[in-house]
Structure 1
Amino acid sequence: MKPGRFALSLLSAIPLVLAACANKSDEIAASYVSPTIYEGMSCRQLAVEAQSVANRAAQAAAAQDKKANNDAVATGVGVVLFWPALFFIKGDGAQAAEVARLKGEMQAIETANTVKNCGIRFST
Structure 2
Amino acid sequence: MNSVKKMTIFLVPVLLLGCATRPSSIEPLVVSDTSYEGLSCKQLVSGINEKYKELAVYSKAQNSKATSDIVTSIVLLVPGSLFTGNYEEEIAQLKGDVIAINHNLQKKQCDTSNVVPEPDVSDLKVEDFKKPEDKN
Q: TM-score, normalised by structure 1?
A: 0.81
What corresponds to 1:23 in structure 2? 21
Count of residue correspondences: 115
Q: Choose which of 49, 60, 68 in structure 2 pairs with 1:51.
A: 49
Cα displacement string for residues 67-86 of structure 1 (whole angstroms, at most 9, x for unaligned residues): 00101111232xxxxxxx12
- What fraction of aligned residue pairs are identical, expressed as a percent? 30
User: Is the contact made by 2:23 and 2:63 (CA closer than 8 Å) also made in structure 1?
Assistant: yes
Q: Choose which of 74, 78, 82 in structure 2 pairs with 1:87.
A: 78
Amino acid at match of 1:89: G
Return the alpha-carbon distance in structure 2 between the equivalents of residues 111 and 23 of structure 1.
Answer: 27
What 5-or-longer segments of structure 2 have no aligned partner?
119-136
Return the alpha-carbon distance in structure 2 between the equivalents of residues 87 and 93 of structure 1.
Answer: 13
Amino acid at match of 2:67: N
What 5-or-longer segments of structure 1 have no aligned partner?
78-84
What corresponds to 1:4 in structure 2? 2
Greater mean deviation of Cα atoms: 12-21 or 85-94: 85-94
Q: TM-score, normalised by structure 2?
A: 0.75
C-alpha RMSD over aligned residues: 2.2
Q: By percentage of residues, which structure has more helix?
A: 1
| Larger CA Rg, structure 1 vs 2 | 1
Q: Choose which of 85, 108, 112 in structure 1 pairs with 2:104.
A: 112
Deviation at 1:17, TM superposition (A): 1.2
Q: Stretches of 4+ moved more than 4 A in 1?
A: 91-94
Deviation at 1:64, TM superposition (A): 0.5
